[in-house]
C-alpha cells in the first residue's frame, strides 16, 4: 500500500499521522495481541471466503450501477476487517459474518497477511492502492488496534481538521486522491477513503495488437455503438463454465506473470445480472479448473477502455446488513476515543486497459500474425476458436500466488455511440 505523504496546509489544518495515546479501552480479547504461528494451510479457505464477499459486493454495487463500473473487493474487505478488529462483539459478529472471517484470531491474521500483500506494483504492472481512516483532530486511536492495522498493512490512520476546516480538508483529499468526492460528508468525527488504480497497460500480451474499431452489441445482439478492439492471435488459456454457460479467457500480466486478467462472456443469456446471481465461490473454483491452453493459436479481441468511478461504500455496506458502524458509539469503541463514527466512505477505483506497456518490453515481442484457426483447438466445443469481447463482459484481476480477486469490473456501454 502506498503511504500518503500529506502537505501541511496551515497549523492545525493539515493531515498528520495520528499518534495514539493510552485510554481505558475494553479489548475483551477481540484483538490479535500475541504473535501467531499458523502452520495450517488456510489458502483454500481464504480464497473461498474472499470470493463470497466479492460476489456479495458485486451484487450490491451492480444494483446501484447500470453502466460500466469497477471496484476493488479486496480493498473494501481489508478495511472492513480492520474495523471489525476494533468493534464491539455485536458489530464484530456482523462483520465477521459478512466478510466470512474466522473467529480464530491466528487464522484471521493469516488472512490479513495474504490480503495485505496483494496490491503491489512492479516494474511492468502499475497498481496504486491507498486505504485511510481519517480522524478529526482530538480523536485518539486505540494503541493496540492502531498497532494491529499498521503491522498487518490494513490501513493508514491519519488526522485532519474535518470540523475545523472542512473546505481545506476536502480540497486536499480531492488533490491527493484525484477524486471528485461530490457526496463526501465531513460532519462526523472521521471518514474512510480507499483508492485502487490499476493500469493494465500490456507490456507483452497486447504490445503487438492490431487495433480495430468494431461494433459493440447488447446481449440481444443489437449493435449499440463501437469499441477499439485489441486483437492478437496466440495460444491462450480459455474455458467454459457450464454452471453459467460462460466463455472465459485468462491472460497473464507482467513479465513475470504475477497477475492474471480474466474476461467472461455470456453468449447464451440475455441478462448477465440474473446469470451472475447464480455465482458462488464453488463456481469461481470451477472457472479456474476449466482453463486449458489451446493447441493452436486463437484470436483474442479485448476493447481498450478506461473506467473510473467513486462509490459510496457506506450505503453498500448498509445494503449488506451492517448499519451500526456509522451511528453507534459502542460499535467502534475499541478503534478510538471518542469512538470513530465515519460520516462517509469513498471508494474510488480506476481501470485502464490499453495496448501500450508501462515500460518498453524487455522481451522480444513477435510480430502480429493473421488469424488462422488450423487444426483442433483442444478446447471445449462451446468455447470455439476465438474470444471476442464485443458485447457485455465481466472482468477481474487476480494475483497468481493466492488467486485473490483484486479488482472487478463490468463493461456494458461501448466507448463510442
> Tens digits of per-residue pLDDT, 176-220?
777 777 778 888 999 999 999 988 655 555 667 789 999 999 999
Classify each residue of 52-79 as buried b or exposed e, where b means 16 or more C-beta atoms within 10 Å of its C-beta. bbbbbbbebbbeeeeebbbbbbbbbbbb
The per-residue pLDDT of the chain, averaged, comes to 84
Strands, E assignment, 151-286? 156-160, 190-201, 210-217, 223-234, 237-241, 246-253, 259-265
CB count in 10 Å sphere of residue 277: 12
357 pLDDT more than 90:
no
Instruction: Return the C-alpha cell found at 216.
Output: 459493440
Integer CA distances (angstroms), 190 to 166, 249, 398, in order: 12, 42, 31
pLDDT grade for 256, boundaries at 50, 70 and 90 = confident
Classify each residue of 168-187 as buried b or exposed e, where b means 16 or more C-beta atoms within 10 Å of its C-beta. bbbebbeebbebebeebbbe
Average of per-residue pLDDT across 261-282: 91
Strands, E assignment, 41-189? 69-71, 126-136, 140-141, 156-160
5 pLDDT more than 60:
no
CB 335 within 8 A of CB 142: yes
DSSP state of 10: S
For the ranges 2-16, 131-145, 163-177, 201-215, which has the lowest average pLDDT?
2-16
Alpha carbon distance 132, 335 (integer Å):
13
User: What is residue 7's predicted lDDT score, i.e. its pLDDT?
Assistant: 37
Burial of 252 (0-12, 13-18, 19+ CB in 10 A): middle
CB 412 within 8 A of CB 272: yes
Average of per-residue pLDDT across 9-24: 49
The radius of gyration of the chain from alpha carbons, rounded to an integer in Å, stands at 22
User: What is residue 389's predicted lDDT score, i.e. its pLDDT?
Assistant: 96
CA angle 165, 167, 170 (to 5 degrees): 110
Would you give the distance in Å from CA 262 to the centre of its chain? Answer: 14
Would you give the distance in Å from CA 71 to the centre of its chain? Answer: 5
Instruction: Return the C-alpha cell found at 360.
Output: 518498453
Plot region of 106 (φ>0 → left; ψ -120 to 50 → alpha; else → beta): alpha
pLDDT grade for 171, boundaries at 50, 70 and 90 = confident
pLDDT grade for 18, boundaries at 50, 70 and 90 = low
CB 322 within 8 A of CB 95: yes
* Paired sense of beta strands 342-354 and 305-312, if any: antiparallel
User: What is residue 112's predicted lDDT score, i.e. its pLDDT?
Assistant: 94
Average of per-residue pLDDT across 348-354: 88
Burial of 149 (0-12, 13-18, 19+ CB in 10 A): buried
Check residues 34 and 305 and name the one with the higher pLDDT.
305
Q: How many CA atoms lie within 13 A of 408 on its CB side?
A: 22
Average of per-residue pLDDT across 340-368: 69
Instruction: Return the C-alpha cell found at 321.
Output: 446488513
> Tens digits of per-residue pLDDT, 79-95?
999 999 999 999 999 99
Alpha carbon distance 86, 27 (integer Å):
8
Helix and strand numbers, DSSP H then E, in the chain: 9, 19
Domain architecture of the chain: domains with CATH: 16-21+43-200+307-352 (3.30.497.10), 202-305+358-411 (2.30.39.10)
Instruction: Return the C-alpha cell found at 20.
Output: 495514539
Q: Cβ neighbours of residue 376 under 8 Å, at least 6 residues apart?
A: 295, 296
Q: Cβ neighbours of residue 111 under 8 Å, at least 6 residues apart?
A: 42, 46, 49, 81, 101, 102
Residue with cell 463490468: 410
Amino acid at each position: 500500500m502506498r503511504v500518503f505523504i500529506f502537505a501541511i496546509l496551515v497549523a492545525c489544518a493539515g493531515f498528520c499521522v495520528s499518534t495514539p495515546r493510552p485510554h481505558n479501552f475494553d479489548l475483551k480479547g477481540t484483538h490479535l495481541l500475541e504473535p501467531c504461528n499458523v502452520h495450517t494451510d488456510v489458502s483454500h479457505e481464504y480464497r473461498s471466503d474472499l470470493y463470497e464477499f466479492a460476489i456479495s459486493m458485486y451484487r450490491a454495487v451492480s444494483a446501484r450501477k447500470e453502466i460500466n463500473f469497477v471496484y476493488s473487493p479486496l480493498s473494501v474487505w481489508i478495511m472492513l476487517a480492520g474495523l471489525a478488529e476494533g468493534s464491539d462483539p455485536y458489530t464484530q459478529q456482523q462483520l465477521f459474518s459478512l466478510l466470512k472471517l474466522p473467529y480464530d484470531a491466528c487464522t484471521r491474521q493469516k488472512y490479513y497477511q495474504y490480503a495485505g500483500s496483494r496490491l503491489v506494483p512492479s516494474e511492468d504492472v502499475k497498481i496504486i492502492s491507498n486505504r485511510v481512516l481519517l480522524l478529526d483532530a482530538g480523536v485518539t486511536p486505540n494503541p493496540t488496534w492502531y498497532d494491529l492495522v499498521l503491522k498487518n498493512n490494513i490501513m493508514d490512520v491519519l488526522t485532519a481538521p474535518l470540523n475545523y476546516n472542512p473546505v481545506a480538508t476536502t480540497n486536499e483529499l480531492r488533490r491527493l486522491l484525484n477524486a471528485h468526492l461530490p457526496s463526501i460528508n465531513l460532519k462526523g468525527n472521521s471518514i474512510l477513503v480507499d483508492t485502487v488504480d490499476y493500469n493494465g497497460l500490456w507490456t507483452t500480451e497486447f504490445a503487438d495488437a492490431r487495433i480495430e474499431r468494431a461494433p459493440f452489441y447488447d446481449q440481444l445482439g443489437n449493435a449499440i455503438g463501437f469499441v477499439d478492439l485489441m486483437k492478437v492471435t496466440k495460444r491462450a488459456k480459455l474455458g467454459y463454465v457450464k454452471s453459467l454457460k460462460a466463455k472465459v479467457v485468462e491472460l497473464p500480466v507482467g513479465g513475470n506473470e504475477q497477475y492474471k486478467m480474466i474476461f467472461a462472456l455470456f453468449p447464451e443469456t440475455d441478462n448477465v445480472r440474473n446469470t451472475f446471481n447464480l455465482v458462488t465461490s464453488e463456481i469461481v473454483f470451477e472457472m479456474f479448473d476449466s482453463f486449458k491452453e489451446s493447441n493452436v493459436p486463437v484470436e483474442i479481441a479485448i476493447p481498450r477502455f478506461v473506467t473510473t468511478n467513486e462509490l459510496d461504500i457506506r450505503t453498500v455496506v448498509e445494503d449488506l446488513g451492517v448499519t451500526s458502524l456509522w451511528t453507534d458509539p459502542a460499535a467502534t469503541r475499541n478503534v478510538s476515543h471518542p469512538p470513530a463514527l465515519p460520516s462517509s466512505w469513498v471508494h474510488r477505483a480506476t481501470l485502464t486497459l490499453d495496448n501500450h506497456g508501462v515500460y518498453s518490453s524487455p522481451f522480444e515481442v513477435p510480430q502480429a500474425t493473421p488469424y488462422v484457426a488450423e487444426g483442433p483447438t483442444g478446447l471445449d466445443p462451446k468455447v470455439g476458436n476465438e474470444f471476442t469481447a464485443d458485447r457485455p463482459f465481466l472482468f477481474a484481476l487476480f494475483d497468481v500466488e493466492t488467486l485473490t480477486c483484486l479488482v472487478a469490473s463490468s463493461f456494458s456501454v461501448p466507448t463510442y455511440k
